[in-house]
């Protein structure tokens, strides 16, 4: 970054120590921070015809007051003033919040210019400005900044204007000329001044487009440079894999692989054979058969003489994986061991020693796997299942175990493409986009809680046919007493209801590991026909005879989570059902229930979820791995994100980028980001 732009804001004339301090409140320290403090919205003072204004758009209108203003007070400081205004034959309501003092200016018959937000359904403008008479301004689009303390949008505008005048020449354009001409993007100087002082809506749009692209391009260049450096720095091992051995292993499986499974196995094995270290994401919808893919890859690694580890987020899932892997591996004389919180003392010590000595080649575990005292002899492959449940840090620790093991992250949370390429831009991605043959589509229904009786009858009918059912109660935090009680209550009620007919099991996070195991075991053996549970069964659990999934208070779960829960059924040959018991109050809530009943496709769901909730919520704020973009919005600007990614990939791969004069500034920028030593990426 240019020295000049990195000076303290006090270098801008008119900004003294006092102002500088206030600017710090907005995280503005340098000249550059100041000119890149973008408006968060624009006021549009151009007078418009209401017929042309869309719902929720900002608008300026001129009209005549039709009614005396009425004011309602809510407590001391809050109030709402409203009156009727006739705008070009259209009668609208204008409301102002907490500006009762405007009252004196509003009398019947007066002409006013009102600026605000238009609510088409209620024919209401929520005002932000009021001027007497007809006031159409020269500069019609005015930026509004987030401010704090004594700073106002007006003073900020003045400082930014001054900074732009003084330092215009210091603004460095990081986008290579060729790209800029190709996409017809304005220069950065241009773009910045237009963003702060837009001459017209069109030029503002172009300016924004440029800055969005720049933000995405720089981010993607960082990702791609990191990826390249990481591949080159870390000499992964070249696995010597005998194709014939893998083939005969696959032949012994109880079912033929789907084409998609075959394809991803080939991709992964090819990657493991390469001298680079694998860093790969395996996406596949619930039930698409990721476990077997993991098993094949682990087999390949073990046959090549290395150890393999599978890390999962819950104890139940670990147990289950151990069981199904044992069935596959024990006939081949490969031992599978469990390492989780419940394995303690001497038993744990024995396993640790075996791991360190290399006597044990396949271990499955929870986060207990990444504890410090766990050492491997020659770890070749690490797989994490349901990777979205692990934090970024846990993933890193695991990756650092052993000498550069290959890593495969498996997830059933279909990450919308837009997020996958941004948050996981440093990974390769394999996708299983096909379900094993013969699966029936799960029928999903949304029922109001007052239909519970009918739902219980329905469960009964299915159980009569020999099937089993899950009943899920919400639990937000595993430690929250209240929600555990919830499951306990429902368990009691169902026990009462089906007394003498069916056995009802109870599962929640508070049970001891051995208790959980017993409960799961009883359910998978059909000793209990109904399992009341919290979301601890959300991921991975596999009981193919279960055909009914009832979810209480379904509106409290995210779509991705509901889809995961639904994925617990539909695992066998029988028709399965998912019933959402919910009474959502909000429109979004209703919409979400509807989406669930409309699609079984996890990718479609996740795209819709993203639209409804935004990317932060999708993963939980911390895990998204996305930086805070200053101006870009990954949801709305996703096309630009894709374009930027493709451009970044091309640039990083070209020799020109690393050698030619033309890219020097950009290259320096990438170097400054510290990604080239392959250490950090954030």
* C-alpha to C-alpha distance for 286 and 230, rounded to whole angstroms: 31
Residue with smaller CB distance to ligand ADP, 286 or 676: 286
C-alpha–C-alpha distance, residues 469 and 659, integer Å: 63
Nearest distance, CB of residue 413 and ligand ADP, angstroms: 11
Q: Which residues of 570-606 are buried (b: 16+ CB within 10 A; e: fewer)?
A: bbbebebbbbbbbebeeeebeebbebbeebbebbebb
Choose between 114 and 322: whose C-beta lies nearer to ligand ADP: 322
Cβ neighbours of 280 (radius 10 Å): 20
Q: What are the helix (H) ranges across 168-238?
A: 177-182, 188-196, 201-233
Closest CB 255 distance from Mg ion, rounded Å? 16
Q: Which does 258 bind (CB under 5 to 8 A by kind): Mg ion, ligand ADP, none?
A: ligand ADP
Q: Exposed e or buried b for every residue in 186-201, given b needs 16+ CB within 10 A?
A: bebbbbbbbbbbbeee
CA distances from residue 167 to 35, 95, 161, 255, 419 in whole angstroms, order as listed? 10, 42, 10, 68, 36
Residue 287 site contact among ligand ADP, Mg ion, none (CB < 5 to 8 Å, cut-off depends on kind): ligand ADP
Q: Does 602 bind Mg ion (CB under 5 A)?
A: no
Which residues inside 505-534 make contact with Mg ion, applying CB under 5 A?
none
The site partner of 674 among ligand ADP, Mg ion, none (C-beta below 5 to 8 Å per kind) is none
Q: Work out what residue 74 binds among Mg ion, ligand ADP, none; the CB cut-off runs from 5 to 8 Å by kind.
A: none
Site map 114..153 versus ligand ADP, x via CB under 6 A: ----------------------------------------
Are 141 and 45 within 8 A, CB to CB?
Answer: yes
Asked if 540 is part of the footprint of Mg ion (rule: CB under 5 A), the reply reads: yes
Q: How many residues lie near ligand ADP (CB under 6 A)? A: 18
Q: Which is nearer to ligand ADP, 143 or 540 (CB)?
A: 540
- Does 327 bind ligand ADP (CB under 6 A)? Our answer is no
User: At its nearest, how many Å lie between ligand ADP and the CB of residue 362?
Assistant: 17
Nearest approach in angstroms of CB 521 to ligand ADP is: 17
Site string for ligand ADP, 211-230 (x = CB under 6 A): --------------------
Dihedral of alpha carbons 225, 230, 232, 238, sign: negative
Separation between Cα atoms, residue 471 and residue 551, nearest integer Å = 6
Shortest Å distance, C-beta 251 to ligand ADP: 13
32, 82, 258, 624: residue in contact with ligand ADP (rule CB under 6 A): 258
- Is residue 114 within 8 Å of 60, Cβ to Cβ? yes
CA–CA distance, 308 with 170 (Å, rounded to integer) = 53
Give the residue nearest to ligand ADP (CB).
289
First to last CA, the chain: 18
User: Which C-beta is closer to ligand ADP: that of 152 or that of 248?
Assistant: 248
Residue 313 contact, options Mg ion, ligand ADP, none, Cβ 5-8 Å cut-off depending on partner type: none
Q: Which of residues 537-556 bind ligand ADP (CB under 6 A)?
A: 540, 542, 544
Cα torsion 69, 74, 78, 80 to 10°: value is: -20
Shortest distance, CB of residue 326 to ligand ADP, whole angstroms? 14
CB under 5 to 8 A by kind: which of Mg ion, ligand ADP, none does 589 bind?
A: none
Annotate 342-410 with DSSP letters as a single string: T--HHHHHHHHHHHHHT---EEEESGGGGSTT---SSEEEEEESSGGGS-HHHHHHHHTSSSS-EEEEE
What residue has token string 């194709």? Answer: 243
Read off φ and ψ for residue 644, nearest 5 degrees.
-60, -40
| Of positions 412, 565, 595, 670, contacts ligand ADP by CB under 6 A | 412
In this structure, are residues 253 and 402 in contact, taking their beta carbons and an 8 Å threshold? Answer: no
Partner from ligand ADP, Mg ion, none binding residue 292, C-beta < 5-8 Å depending on class: ligand ADP
CB of 302 to ligand ADP, least distance (A): 19
Contact indicator for 473, 537 with CB cutoff of 8 Å:
no
Give the residue among 529, 465, 539 at the shortest CA–CA distance from 500: 529
- To Mg ion, the closest distance from the beta carbon of 182 in angstroms equals 44
Binding residue for ligand ADP, selected from 73, 74, 101, 255, defined by CB under 6 A: 255
Taking the complex as a whole, the smallest distance from the CB of residue 595 to ligand ADP amounts, in Å, to 20
Choose between 176 and 414: whose C-beta lies nearer to ligand ADP. Answer: 414
Q: Which token pair is 602?
A: 């996890």
- Taking residues 635 to 674 in sequence order and writing x for each that binds ligand ADP by CB under 6 A, - otherwise, the string is ----------------------------------------
In order, the DSSP letters of 534-572 are: -GGGSSS---TTEEEEEETTGGGS-HHHHHHHHTTSS-S
Reported as half-sphere exposure (CB side, CA atoms, 13 A), residue 438 has a value of 7
Smallest distance from the beta carbon of 231 to ligand ADP, in angstroms? 27
Stretch 287-306 residues interacting with ligand ADP (CB under 6 A): 287-292
Q: Which x/- pattern, by CB under 6 A, does the window 556-585 give for ligand ADP?
A: ---------------x--------------
Nearer to Mg ion, 236 or 540 (CB): 540
Cα–Cα distance measured from residue 9 to residue 5, given in angstroms and rounded to the nearest whole number: 9
Identify whether the C-beta of residue 321 lies closer than 8 Å to the C-beta of residue 291. Answer: yes
In the list Mg ion, ligand ADP, none, the entry touching 69 (Cβ below 5 to 8 angstroms by class) is none
**Binding window for ligand ADP (CB under 6 A); candidates: 24-32, 35-43, 282-290, 650-658:** 282-290
Is 30 in a helix, a strand, or coil? strand
Q: Provide, rounded to whole angstroms, the least separation between the CB of residue 525 and ligand ADP.
A: 16
Q: What's the gap between Cα 86 and its chain centre?
A: 46
Judged by the rule CB under 5 A, the positions of this chain that interact with Mg ion are 540
Binding residues for ligand ADP, rule: CB under 6 A, are 255, 257-258, 261, 284, 286-292, 412, 436, 540, 542, 544, 571
């Amino acid at each position: 970054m240019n020295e000049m732009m990195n000076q303290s804001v006090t270098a801008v004339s008119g900004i003294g120590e006092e102002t500088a301090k206030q600017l710090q409140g907005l995280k503005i320290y340098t000249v550059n921070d100041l000119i890149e403090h973008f408006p968060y919205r624009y006021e549009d003072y151009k007078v418009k015809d209401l017929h042309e204004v869309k719902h929720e758009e900002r608008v300026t209108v001129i009209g005549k007051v039709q009614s005396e203003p009425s004011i309602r007070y809510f407590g001391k400081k809050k109030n709402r003033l409203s009156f009727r205004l006739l705008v070009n034959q259209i009668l609208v309501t204008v409301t102002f919040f907490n500006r009762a003092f405007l009252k004196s200016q509003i009398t019947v018959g007066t002409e006013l210019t009102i600026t605000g937000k238009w609510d088409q359904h209620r024919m209401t403008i929520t005002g932000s400005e009021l001027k007497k008479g007809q006031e159409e301004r020269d500069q019609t689009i005015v930026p509004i900044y987030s401010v704090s303390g004594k700073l106002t949008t007006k003073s900020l505008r003045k400082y930014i204007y001054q900074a732009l005048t003084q330092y215009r020449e210091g603004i460095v354009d990081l986008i290579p000329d060729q790209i800029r001409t190709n996409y017809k993007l304005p220069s950065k100087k241009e773009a910045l001044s237009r963003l702060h002082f837009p001459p017209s809506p069109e030029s503002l749009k172009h300016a924004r487009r440029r800055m969005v692209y720049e933000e995405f391009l720089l981010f993607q260049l960082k990702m791609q440079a990191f990826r390249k450096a990481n591949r080159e720095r870390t000499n992964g091992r070249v696995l010597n894999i005998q194709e014939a051995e893998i083939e005969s292993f696959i032949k012994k499986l109880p079912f033929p692989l789907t084409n998609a499974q075959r394809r991803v196995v080939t991709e992964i094995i090819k990657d493991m054979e390469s001298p680079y270290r694998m860093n790969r994401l395996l996406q596949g919808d619930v039930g698409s058969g990721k476990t077997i893919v993991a098993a094949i890859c682990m087999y390949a690694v073990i046959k090549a003489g290395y150890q393999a580890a599978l890390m999962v987020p819950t104890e139940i899932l670990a147990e289950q994986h151990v069981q199904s892997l044992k069935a596959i591996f024990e006939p081949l004389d490969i031992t599978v061991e469990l390492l989780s919180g419940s394995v303690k003392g001497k038993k744990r010590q024995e396993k640790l020693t075996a791991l360190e000595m290399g006597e044990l080649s396949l271990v499955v575990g929870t986060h207990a796997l990444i504890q410090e005292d766990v050492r491997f002899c020659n770890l070749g492959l690490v797989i994490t299942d349901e990777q979205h449940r692990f934090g970024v840090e846990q993933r890193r620790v695991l990756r650092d175990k052993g000498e550069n093991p290959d890593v495969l992250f498996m997830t059933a949370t279909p990450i919308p493409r837009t997020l996958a390429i941004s948050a996981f831009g440093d990974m390769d991605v394999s996708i299983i986009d096909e379900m094993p043959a013969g699966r029936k589509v799960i029928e999903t229904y949304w029922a109001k809680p007052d239909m519970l009786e009918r739902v219980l009858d329905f469960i009964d009918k299915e159980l009569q046919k020999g099937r089993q059912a899950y009943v899920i109660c919400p639990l937000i935090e595993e430690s929250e007493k209240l929600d555990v009680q919830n499951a306990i209550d429902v368990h009691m009620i169902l026990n009462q209801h089906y007394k003498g007919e069916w056995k009802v099991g109870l599962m929640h996070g508070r049970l001891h590991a051995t208790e959980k195991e017993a409960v799961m075991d009883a359910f998978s053996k059909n000793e209990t026909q109904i399992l009341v549970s919290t979301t601890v069964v959300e991921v991975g659990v596999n009981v193919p005879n279960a055909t009914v999934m009832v979810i209480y208070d379904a509106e409290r779960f995210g779509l991705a989570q509901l889809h995961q829960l639904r994925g617990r059924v539909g695992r066998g040959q029988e028709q399965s059902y998912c019933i959402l018991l919910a009474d959502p109050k909000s429109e979004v809530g209703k919409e979400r229930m509807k989406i669930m009943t409309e699609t079984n496709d996890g990718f479609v769901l996740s795209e819709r979820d993203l639209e409804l909730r935004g990317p932060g919520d999708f993963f939980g704020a911390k895990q998204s791995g996305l930086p805070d973009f200053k101006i870009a919005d990954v949801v709305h600007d996703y096309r630009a994100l894709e374009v930027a990614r493709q451009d970044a990939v091309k640039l990083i791969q070209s020799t020109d980028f690393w050698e030619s004069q033309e890219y020097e500034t950009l290259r320096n920028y990438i170097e400054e980001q510290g990604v080239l030593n392959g250490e950090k990426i954030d």
